[in-house]
Amino acid sequence: MAADTTSAGSTIVTFNVGGTRYQVSRSLLDQFPNSMLSKSASEQWQEDPESEIFIERNGVRFQYVLDYMRDGKVDVPLSQTKASILAELDYFGIDVADKTVIDCSKTIATRGIACAHLVTSQLQELRRELDKDIAVKKLASWLLMSILERRIDSLQGRDWSFRIYSKDDDDLYRASQRQKTIDDADAILNKVGLKITEKDYSIPETKLTLTPIPLTE
């Protein structure tokens, strides 16, 4: 417990809680004479006033113990729970008769908003992934069906060009305007011996050229 004496004569006690140092006035500790903090400070003071008291507890959570000691209440942050704060106060021998002063109402509201925001963000990301996957499959399927509709007997020895118009299928057109979607669709087509070799993003149409490639084993 490192002790400093100010000009007013008040003593400051230093606690090292889990590696985090806190300075607390003796006058505050004296308001909780039966607490472990007050007793530890008194015992250490008699042995070595210049040393600090080390306590093997959560250094972050200790600040809320001091909040209660100073203000008689604690606004529980999003990162903590009411039960965890009460457990710390009990460990340090600080009695809390009225548990409602450990207020987590703001935390619940904030946590609810944060949770809702997180869920919304995750749903939006999932929707984007699904939309992307659907667009890729739709583009690849459209190109394959277009070839089949031409009744091609062999996929060897020629290229095929296709135009996708916004007025005919806006979703397909927008998918064909995205390079990443085309690349993913191309990966699917490669499995059946086709490759997108040319891309022309002319508004309001997309021109894609497919070329046969040898199938890999």
Strand partners, 55: 17
pTM listed for this prediction: 0.47
Per-residue pLDDT band for 211 (boundaries 50, 70, 90) equals confident
Looking at every residue in the chain, the average pLDDT score rounds to 79
**Which pLDDT does position 112 carry in this prediction?**
55
pLDDT tens-digit series, residues 98-135: 998 988 766 555 555 555 565 566 556 655 655 567 88
| DSSP notation for 17-54 | ETTEEEEEEHHHHTTSTTSHHHHHHHHHHHH-TTSPEE
**Which pLDDT does position 154 carry in this prediction?**
45
Top-ranked range on mean pLDDT: pick from 148-152, 191-195, 207-211: 207-211
